[in-house]
Structure 1
Amino acid sequence: MGDARRAAAAGLVLGAGACYCIYRLTRKATGAAVETERAAGARDGSAPAGGLLPLVSGLSALPSLALGGLASRRSDTDLPQSPCQLDVHHLQKLIHLLKFTDDPLIQEQALVSLSNSAAFSVNQDIIRNLDGLSVIGRMLSDSIPKVKEKALNALNNLSMNVKNQEEIKVYILQVCKEIEISPLNSDLQLAGLRLLTNMSVTNDYHHMMTNGIPCFLHLLSEGNERTKVQVLKILVNLSANPAMIQHLCSAQAPSLLSLFDYGINKEILLRALTFAVNLNQNMKNEDGIITQDLSSEDSIFFLLCGHSTQYAQKLVRLLHHQDTEVKEQAAKIITQQRGEILRDSSGKLQ
C-alpha cells in the first residue's frame, strides 16, 4: 500500500509539472534559451520601482546602478513569465500533498513542482492564498538537507512578490542560521543566500539580516567564487540602505581588500566595487552617520573608507583594467574619496 500511495503521489506531482516541462521544451526549440541555475536561478535583475516582478539583465547593468535606491540592488529569479500555468486545483493538491506526506522523496518532488509554478506571477498569489507559504516554510525545519534546499528554492521564486515577502519575512532569521551552519559552498547554503538576495531588494527587512553580516563576511573570505558572488549581491543591497551603514562599517573583514585585486573574477570585482561606492555614498546621508569608534584596522570602515594606502594602490591599478566598467567604478571611488579629503582639509567634513 505504501508503494502504491507513493506512486500515486508521484504521478500527481509529475502530472502537475507537465505543463511547465512542455513550456521549457518549447522555449528551447525556438532558440529562446533561458539561463538558469538549479531550481532557483542565479540570474541578475534590478528591482523595478513599483514592485518585485522578475526582470532579466546581464552583469553589464552593474555600472548603471543608482547608488541610493532600488536600482542599486540585485535580485534573483528563476524563469520569465509564461501563459502556460498550473490551475488552482493542481496547486491546491500539491500543497495538500506536501502538508500531509512524510515521504522526503514526495516532498522534494512537490516542492520542485511548486517552485517551477511559482516562476509565474499569477501562481505566486494563488499559492499564498492557499496558505502554501506556511506549508513550504515548515519544510525549513526538516532534517533532510535536500528537502530544505528545495523549500528555499520555492520560497525564492515566491519572494518575487511584495505580498509574499510580508509572509516570508518570518523565516529570515531561520534562513540566516541555516546559511551559517550549512556546509561551505553547498547547494543548501547557496539556496539560502539566493532567498536573502530577493528579500533584501527593499529596505523593509534589512534590520532582520543584521546579525547575519559576520557570517556573510566569513563566506566572502572562505567561499568559492559562486558563493562570493551571491554574498556580494546581498551586501550591495544592504549597502544601498543608509540605515545599514553603521552595521556594515563596524564589521570585521580582514581579507576584504583581496576582492579588489586586478586579476580577480570580474563578477566579484564589479560587485565589490559597487559595494564600496554605496558605502562612500551613503555615509553622507544623515541616516548613515557613523557614531562609534571604527579605529580597528580590520573594520570595513578602516579598509574601504579610512584612506588605506593598500586600498588606494589597488584602485589606482584598476584604472588600467582592460574592462571599462571596472575602470569607471574604480574612478568613481577615487573621486568620492578625494572629495572627502578636500572637505576634511577645509573643515567642512562632519
Structure 2
Amino acid sequence: MAAGGAAVRALVGLSLGAAICYCVYKVMWRYETKKKQKVGDGRLGILSKVSGIPVKSSVQSDAADEFENNPQSVIDLQPHHLKMLIEIVSSSSNASLREKALVTLGNCAAFTRNVNIISNLNGIQVIGAAISDEETDIRISALNALNNLSLNIENQDRLKDYLHEVCETITSAPLNSELQFAGLRLLINMAVFYDHHKVLAEYIPFFLTLLAEGNIDTQIWTSKVLVNLSLNSSMATFLFRSKAPRTLDALFDLATDKELLFRLLSISANLYASLGTSQNRDEHIYGKDSLYTLLLGDSSGLKQNLLSLLQIPQPEIQNQVMKLILMCNSKRIKYNTTTPNRTNISEAQVI
C-alpha cells in the first residue's frame, strides 16, 4: 500500500509539473506573440510538441481550461517531449519557465524508464549547468532533478563531475535554506559510493560545522552524509583530523532528537571501529580541536554519557551504545562508568 501511494504521489507530481510547465510556457508565448505581432516563434513548436495540445494564437484562450480538457497529454510524456523540456532548460530566457521545466524533468526522473532517456539526451549536462544559475529556484530545482537521476547507478559516474560545485553551493548557501537542503540530499546519494569520498574530504570541517550550527533538518541531512563517509575506513583519518566545533559535544545527550542521535552514534561507532589501525590510533597526529579529540579525548561528551544514553528505550540507539561500550572495552578506551542518576534520565526523556 505504501509503495502504491508513493507511486500515485509521484505520478501526481509529474502531472502537476508538466501542467505548470505547459501553462507558463503558453503565457510566455502569448506575451511574445502580442509584443512581436506574430502567430508564434520557434518555441511555440516546442510547447505544442511537449503538451500535445494545439496552441491557439488568441490571447483570450484559457490555458488552464485546455489542460483540464487534455489531462493525458501532460502525463504520457514521450522521449521527444523530454527532449523539448531539456531544450527549454538550456535555451529559454524565461527563468520561471526554465524552473518549471526542471521540476517536470525531476518528476520524470522518478520513473525508471525516463532516466536513461534524459541521460542519453544530454540532460544531465544541461541540468548540471543550471546549478550555477543566478536564480535560486532554478538551482534548487536543478539539484532536485539531479538527486532523482543519481538513484540510477550508471548516472553516478556522470554526476561525479558536479560534486565539487554541489559542495561549493552548500557552503555558500544561506544556513538552513532550501538550496542547502537540496545540495545535501544529492550528496547523500553520491556519498553511497566510496569513489566519490576523496572529493568530499576537504568539506568535512564544514559538514561538522553544519551539525553544530544548523537546525534539526540541516543536522539530519548532514549526519546522513557523514554516516556514509564514516562507513569507508579509508576516510577515518580525514574525519578524525577534521576540525570539529566543541559544541558538538552537547549533542550526545538525552534531550537530542533521537533520529539525529542515532546517526551521531552510528558515525562514532564506525570511527571507533577504525581504531584497529596504528595510524588512526596515534593521538599525536590529531589536534586539540579535532574530531578525534571530541570523540576520544579525556573530556569527550560521548564517553562521559555512554551509560546514560543506554537508558534511551529505542532499540536502535541502545544497539549503537552497546557497540560503542564493547569497542571501548576491547580497545581499552576509558569512559565514564558511573551509574547515571535515573531521576535525571526520566526528566530528560520527558523534555
Where on the TM-score scale, by shorter chain, does this alignment land: which range?
0.7 to 0.9
Match of 1:156 in 2: 147
Shift in CA distance, 95/308, structure 1 to aligned 2, threshold 3 Å: same
Q: CA RMSD in A?
A: 2.6
Is residue 319 of structure 1 aligned with residue 310 of structure 2? yes
Q: Is the 8 A contact 1:13 1:109 kept in 2?
A: no
Deviation at 1:266, TM superposition (A): 0.8
Q: What is the distance in 2 between the residues matched to 1:229 and 1:202?
A: 20
Offset, 1:7:
8.2
> What are the equivalent positions in structure 2 for 1:133-148 lying under 5 Å apart?
133-148=124-139
Map of 1:268 onto structure 2: 260
Map 1:82-231 → 2, pairs under 5 A: 86-231=77-222
Query: Structure 1 residues 318 and 339, CA, compared in 2 at 3 Å: closer, same or farther?
Result: same
**What residue identity is the alignment partner of 2:260?**
I
Higher relative contact order (CA 8 A, sep 6+): 1
Report the count of equivalent residues.
278
Deviation at 1:334, TM superposition (A): 1.2
Q: Could you say which structure has the higher helix fraction?
A: 2
Shift of 1:8: 7.8
In the superposition, the TM-score normalised over structure 1's length comes to 0.73
Distance 1:96 1:241, change over 3 A: same
Q: 1:310 to 1:292 in 2, by over 3 A?
A: closer
- Comparing 290-299 with 2-11, which one deviates more in the overlay? 2-11
Q: TM-score, normalised by structure 2?
A: 0.73
**Contact (CA 8 Å) 2:201, 2:238: kept in 1 or not?**
yes
Quick one: which amino acid aligns to residue 118 of structure 2? I
Gaps of 5+ in 2: 1-28, 34-40, 54-66, 335-351
Q: Deviations over 1:273-324 (max 9, x none)?
A: 00001101133258x7466734433211112134545322211101111322
Write out per-residue CA displacement over residues 163-218 of structure 1, whole angstroms, 9 at most, x where no aligned residue: 21111111111111110110110000100001111000010100011111111111
**Structure 2 CA distance for partners of 1:131 and 1:208, relative to 1, 3 Å:** same
Change (3 A) 1:141 1:259: same
Separation in 2, partners of 1:11, 1:316 = 66
Amino acid at match of 1:137: G
Q: Deviations over 1:213-252 (max 9, x none)?
A: 1111111111000000000000000000111111100112
How many Å separate the matches in 2 of 1:342 and 1:189? 37
Report the equivalent of 1:27: none
Higher-Rg member (1/2): 2
The amino acid of 2:92's aligned partner reads T
Deviation at 1:130, TM superposition (A): 0.7
* 1:255 counterpart = 2:250: no
Matched, 1:303 2:303: no
CA distance in 1, matches of 2:272, 2:294: 12
Percentage of matched positions with identical amino acids:
39
